[in-house]
Amino acid sequence: MRNFKHNAKKAVLFLAVVIAYEMLFSFLLEPVTYQHFLETELKENEERGILPDMVVIGNSSVEMAFVPSVLEEGIGDAGCVLNAGTGSQMIWGTYYYLKELFRQYDIKYAVVGIDYSIFFGADSRNVRRDLVVLDRIHSADIRAEYIKNHFEKKEYIYLLKSYRNREYFGSMAENVSGKLDGNYRKGVDSREGTHYLERGYVYSTEKGDLHTGIYGANQVDVNQVSNESMEYLDKIVELCREEKVELHFVALPTSFSGIYGSDTYQSAVDFFNAYAADKGVPFCDMNLLRNRTEILPDDMLSDEGHLGYNGALICSDIYAEIFNRQRSGRDVSDYFYHSVDEMKKDIKGIVVCDLGTKPYGEAGDRMIHAKSIHEEGVIPEYEFWVCQEGSEWIKLQEYSEEAECFLPAKYLESKVDIQVNCRSRGSNAEWEKRKRISKEPE
C-alpha cells in the first residue's frame, strides 16, 4: 500500500510537471491568435448578457467576408452574430464547431460558407487546419469525437501546443511581448494590416486597382466529389434540424477574373443548387451577384479569395437583404445572374488588366506584355509607364492597341516600377483599369 501511494504521488508529480511545462512553453511559443481576441470578447459580452443567436461559419472566406455588426443591423431578428470562420476550416471542422456552439448558445440561425474546392478534388492532409478549430472546442466529448475521427495516432503529439509551435522558438520574445501588451489583455488586436476586429471577423485591406491583376481560372471537377465532405454536409443539415436551427448555405466572393476564365465553375453552382433544393436549405452564390464587377470588383479583394474590409461591409449588407428574403420564403433571383455565361456577357468596359515582362534579345532588355478582361466588342488600349527608384515616371508608350512595349535594360539596373493603364478605344478617360508591378535587378 505504501509503495502504491508513493508511486501515485510520483505519477501526480510527473503529471503536474508535464502540465506546467506545457503551459509555460505554450505561452512562450504560441503566436498571438485570433482565438484569444474572440474568446475575450465573447466573455465580456456574456457578462453584459449578450449571447450569440446567429452564427456564420466556414473557412477564411467567411472569416473575412461577414462583419457581424453589419449583419445585425440588416437582420432584425439577429441580436448577436458570431463569425466562427477559421483559416482552411474543413466541412467536418464546421460540423464539430457547430455542435460546440449549439451546446453553448441558443442559436437560431446558422449560415455555412460553401467553398467548392473543399468538396471537389483530392484532399491534401493538413493537421494544423483541424487544430485551429479543435482549440476552440472545449467540450471534452466533442473534442474526443473530433480527434478520434480526424487525427491519426502519429498526430496526437500535435495536441501539445508546445510541440506544434516548436518552430517559433526564435520568436519567443516577440510572442511574449505581444501577450503582455495591455491591448492584448483587453482583447484588442492593435496589429497593423490583417487583424482581428469584432466577434470573429478578421479585417484586411483590399489590394486596390494598382495591385489587382487577372487571377488564374477557378476550375472545379464535380466528377471528383469528396464523399467525406458531402457526408459531413449531410451531418450539418441533420444537426441543424435536430437543434431546430434554421440553416442557410452561401458561397462567398472570389475573384471575378478567376470565374471568368473558368469553364467549369457553373457545374459547381448547379451541383449545390440541386443539393440545397433537395435538402430544403436556402443557398446563394455571391459571385453571381448582378453588376458584380461594379458592386464587388476584384480590387476590393485582399487576395484571390478574400474580401478586404470595404468589400466585406458591402457583402454583409447585401447578404443581410438576401437572408431576410430567403428566411421569409421570398424569391431572390433578381439579385443574381442565372448563370456564369450571363454574368460574362453583362460586363461593361474594361473590368481588369494585368501585365508582366519577359526577356527580349541578348542585351538584358525585356518586353512588357499586357492583357485585359473587357466587354464584348470593346477594343482595349494600353499606355505603359516606368519609374526607377527615386526618379520620375517616364511614359514608354502612348495609348494604343499594341499590348506589348519594349523595356530597355537601362531601366532594370535598379528597382523599377512598371505600370500599364488600360481603357476602351475611343475613351478620353485617363484610365479605366490599371496595374503596377515592381521588379528588382536580376
Residue 174 C-alpha cell reads as 516577440
- Domain 350-439 sits in CATH at 2.60.40.10
> Taking residues 259-276, what's their average pLDDT?
97
Separation of alpha carbons 283 and 94, rounded Å? 17
- Tell me what pLDDT residue 21 has: 63
Confidence class for position 177, pLDDT limits 50, 70, 90: confident
- Tell me what pLDDT residue 2 has: 58
Confidence class for position 1, pLDDT limits 50, 70, 90: low
pLDDT above 70: percentage of residues in the chain:
95
- Tell me what pLDDT residue 273 has: 98
Contact status, residue 385 vs residue 391, Cβ threshold 8 Å = no
List every span in the chain annotated with CATH 2.60.40.10. 350-439
Task: Judge: domain 31-343, CATH 3.40.50.1110.
Answer: yes
Query: Please, how many CA atoms are within 13 Å of residue 81, restricted to the half-sphere of its CB?
Result: 26
> Taking residues 43-62, what's their average pLDDT?
97
* Helix residue ranges per DSSP H, 113-181: 116-119, 127-134, 140-150, 161-164, 172-180
Residue at grid coordinates 478549430: 133
pLDDT 10s digits, 23-32: 776 778 788 9
> Taking residues 326-336, what's their average pLDDT?
96
- Tell me what pLDDT residue 340 has: 97
Top mean-pLDDT range of 5-9, 38-42, 181-185: 38-42
pLDDT 10s digits, 270-312: 999 999 999 999 999 999 999 999 999 999 999 999 999 999 9
For 282, 288, 321, the CA distances from 330, given in Å and listed in that order, are 11, 18, 11
- Tell me what pLDDT residue 171 has: 84
Q: Is 174 helix (H, G, I), strand (E, B) or coil?
A: helix
pLDDT above 90: percentage of residues in the chain:
85
- Tell me what pLDDT residue 178 has: 86
pLDDT 10s digits, 181-232: 999 999 999 999 999 999 999 999 999 999 999 999 999 999 999 999 999 9
pLDDT 10s digits, 70-99: 999 999 899 999 999 999 999 999 999 999
List every span in the chain annotated with CATH 3.40.50.1110. 31-343
Looking at per-residue confidence, does 121 or 135 come out higher?
A: 135
